[in-house]
Structure 1
Amino acid sequence: MNLKYLFLTVILCVTYSCNNDDSDFELVQVAVPEVMSKTDFRNSVHIKSAQQIEEAGKIYAYQDYIFIGDKGGVHVIDNSNPENPYAKAFIEIPKNEDISVKDNFLYADSATDLLVFDISDINAIAIIERLEDVFDVYNFGIPLQAEVVDYQGFDDQNSVIVGWTVTLERRKKQNDDLLIDVVFDNNTGGFNTAESAVGIGGSLARFQIVSDYLYTVGSQKMTIFNIQNLETPVLENTQYVGWNIETMFQADNFLYLGSTNGMFIYALENPSLPEFVSEFIHWEGCDPVVVDGHYAYLTLRGGNACGQQESVLEVIDIADRSNPILAGRYTLENPYGLGFQGNTLYVCDGTAGLKLFDISNPLNVKLNGSIEGIQTTDVIPLQNSLILIGNNTLYQYRYLENNLELISSFSI
């Protein structure tokens, strides 16, 4: 080789090496969004015959029906005979997180949109309204293994994220790689006795109907809709309410928001603009909450992405809502949703089954019993029976004194 060219090659190699020090680079798991145009996305809502469930999510009870969330929509279960429930239909709703029902109108989120369905004839469910772009954040579902999210090329005005591709890439180190995990997530612990027919959701839900308003919470914001005219909801307000909000519960004209860092309390004196009352801070953990009188009960699940190792049930004294105080803490194994009926608090303890706690004295909560051998994620204690979801199975129980009796188990 000509010495002149050899010398030039060495110079180039040295220069490239100096400018590309391996210490400046690292191998990282990069998540790239898979997108769909909003036009195609909004044309993807369909009413289908009963489908096999992929991954059971939240549960919701309304009259003789149970709705079960799934990855691509909502399963409709006919529960007119609790001993023999059967799948009736599947409402295909892409990127759906939650539903709420009032007087035969079902409200559901679909990424950035709010949909309204007429379910007065369950054999002819129909979508009748769509409010577009009312949610500015929704469940991107960022893969847990992702260390960096690459949004380059994503047009949020015309596209929707419908999935992710994760690859291992060599990238220049960043001082701050910001992973944005924004989640758009109703629950009443006891039976709803309002004159209007309003359904009941589990404690993991983020939708609540109170009188003429539908309240929805995302990771940081609450979006409020006036549903006085049920067929045509109106976006009333959007407000910042906290950080990492996961769940919402309503009781006694207050909203209780469960976050990974605590519980936020909002008053509904002005229903169109809830007012912040107070915040109860705890260590970081997944946090659904229910409220009974002067006490709130919440579970913290550790050993996962929520941030802590310890899993507990906490009892919070909210007699003075402006100053909530920790009243008790009880160790659990792997808690998820919870709900109460009478003096019994039912806690889904994941693979450890269902725990039954006596809360007749909230300052001295006692374990009354448990149902083992089942996996549990959320529960709705109805007036006459208890429904429970876990591991793609819907369980129903009748109440006994300090115990439960199985009515049916339905694998979808």
Structure 2
Amino acid sequence: MAVDGNVVYVTAFTSGLFSVDVTNPTSPIQVDSYDTPNDALDIAVVGTFAFVADGATGLLVFDVSDPASLQLIGQVNTPGISTGLVIQGDRVYIADGDGGLQIADISNPAQPALLGSIDTQSDAKDVAITGDIAFVAAAFFGLECFDVSDPVSPKLVGSIALPGVAQGVAVVGSNVYFADGSAGLYIIDVSDPSLPQIVGSLSTLHGSTDVVVDGSIACVADSSAGVQIVDVSNPALPVLAGTFSTSHIAFRLAKRNSTVFVADGFSGLQIGDIESCMAECYPDCDKDNNLSIFDYICFGNAYANLDPYADCDQSGSFNVFDYICFGNAYATGCP
């Protein structure tokens, strides 16, 4: 997903690309769509151009100068399955599945051209970049760091294995934020890209697939558990600060100020306000703005139904420690 002004561009898998007017976030309006040849999986917007990772098709380029009239103007086939991309200058870096990392010249958006590539240790799922270093989420391996100062001949400079199935990656400063599937969120120090080091992690409920970071807040797409809002002011100790439930499967994210936009599977685009989610009082289970015995009853029902809400300690399992966690939260009270 990508936000450009008051327009959100949603890559909707087999349904293609959608442009949505979010001038009023409580009432989004679809303004156009384009049925791409394959599976639209990721997008980046620069100026009046949108660059789409379209699965087996590769890279598509759209003129989005008029969001109500999306125009395909260029494409380049890649050898793998394009699932993620990032743009820096006149180059696009593509996570291309078993095609590894692909680099293309987009100085002429109507005629993108592949420049160079390098294999990854597992399918490349997503990519982020800072300076001359590209960070790739390699599915069943973990994080790989590539020197792309020569785009024709990128070189592996460092890597670190992680326990989950890598899905999404973001970089802010010297830290990489890693959506690692069932293993949750990992924060990795890449101040020395040749020696990446894990500095913190946080378990999520149902498999993290994407992450966006703004300041001290990381938003994690967590499949059927919706969006997890994480305080990363101390990267060594990330703390769950709130949740935003969605109707289906949270897969991709974009953020503008305190608003988070979620590509949510069959339910389409979901929009939430981070500040209101963080302001919620967790132990007020029945949301009546009053802590009482009915909140314990509500929690017990959630626990019996294996509702993600009842995994209070965020361990990924339901046990007596969730009751202890809820009791502690209840005793602490609400702001």
Give yes or no for TM over 0.5.
yes
Aligned: 1:69 with 2:11:
yes
Aligned: 1:95 with 2:38:
yes
CA deviations 1:48-68 (Å, max 9, x no partner) are xxxxxxxxxxx2222322122
Q: Distance in 2 between matches of 1:66 and 1:329?
A: 30
Q: Which amino acid aligns with 2:103?
A: I
Summarize the alignment of residues 177-326 of structure 1 with structure 2, pairs less than 5 Å apart: 184-185=82-83, 206-220=84-98, 221-260=100-139, 261-302=141-182, 311-326=183-198
| 367-376 or 257-266, which deviates more | 367-376
**Equivalent residue, structure 1, for 2:230:** 357
Q: Distance in 2 between matches of 1:113 and 1:327?
A: 34
Deviation for aligned residue 1:126? 2.6
Q: Which amino acid aligns with 2:220?
A: V
Q: Which amino acid aligns with 2:91?
A: Y
Q: Distance in 2 between matches of 1:399 and 1:135?
A: 37
Q: Distance in 2 between matches of 1:61 and 1:228?
A: 22
* Cα-Cα RMSD: 2.6
Deviation for aligned residue 1:278? 0.5
Label 1:284 to 1:397 Cα distance change in 2 as closer, same or farther (>3 A). Answer: closer
Q: Which amino acid aligns with 1:62?
A: D
CA deviations 1:271-301 (Å, max 9, x no partner) are 4443322011123524322222222222322
Q: Distance in 1 between matches of 2:61 and 2:219?
A: 32
Q: Distance in 1 between matches of 2:58 and 2:137?
A: 23
Q: 1:395 aligns with which of 270, 277, 282?
A: 270
Label 1:373 to 1:280 Cα distance change in 2 as closer, same or farther (>3 A). Answer: same
**Equivalent residue, structure 2, for 1:15:** none
Label 1:99 to 1:353 Cα distance change in 2 as closer, same or farther (>3 A). Answer: closer
Aligned: 1:78 with 2:33:
no
Aligned: 1:119 with 2:53:
no
Contact conserved, 2:60 with 2:74, CA < 8 A, in 1? yes
Larger of the two Rg values belongs to structure: 1
**Equivalent residue, structure 1, for 2:333:** none
Higher fraction of helix: 2
Label 1:113 to 1:207 Cα distance change in 2 as closer, same or farther (>3 A). Answer: closer
Contact conserved, 2:205 with 2:222, CA < 8 A, in 1? yes
**Equivalent residue, structure 2, for 1:105:** 49
Label 1:87 to 1:356 Cα distance change in 2 as closer, same or farther (>3 A). Answer: same
Deviation for aligned residue 1:384? 5.1
Instruction: Using structure 2 for the length normalisation, give the TM-score.
Output: 0.72
Label 1:101 to 1:355 Cα distance change in 2 as closer, same or farther (>3 A). Answer: closer
Q: Distance in 2 between matches of 1:373 and 1:93?
A: 26
Deviation for aligned residue 1:367? 1.9
Q: Distance in 2 between matches of 1:389 and 1:395?
A: 7
Q: Distance in 1 between matches of 2:39 and 2:63?
A: 17
CA deviations 1:238-270 (Å, max 9, x no partner) are 332332211112234421111121100113323
Instruction: Using structure 1 for the length normalisation, give the TM-score.
Output: 0.60
Contact conserved, 1:353 with 1:373, CA < 8 A, in 2? yes
CA deviations 1:88-147 (Å, max 9, x no partner) are 11101121333333221223355345433222123433333344xx31223xxxxxxxxx
Matched residue of 2:262: which SS? strand
The percentage of counterpart residues that share the same residue type is: 21
Q: Which amino acid aligns with 1:299?
A: A
**Equivalent residue, structure 1, for 2:214:** 341
Contact conserved, 2:116 with 2:152, CA < 8 A, in 1? yes
Q: Distance in 2 between matches of 1:357 and 1:109?
A: 27
Q: Distance in 1 between matches of 2:276 and 2:20?
A: 28
Label 1:240 to 1:363 Cα distance change in 2 as closer, same or farther (>3 A). Answer: same
**Equivalent residue, structure 2, for 1:377:** 251
Contact conserved, 1:105 with 1:231, CA < 8 A, in 2? no
Q: Distance in 2 between matches of 1:245 and 1:348?
A: 18
Q: Which has the higher contact order (CA 8 A, sep 6+)?
A: 1
**Which runs of 5 or more structure 1 residues have no equivalent in the other structure?**
1-58, 139-183, 186-205, 303-310, 406-412
**Equivalent residue, structure 1, for 2:290:** none
Label 1:353 to 1:398 Cα distance change in 2 as closer, same or farther (>3 A). Answer: closer
Q: Distance in 1 between matches of 2:246 and 2:159?
A: 37
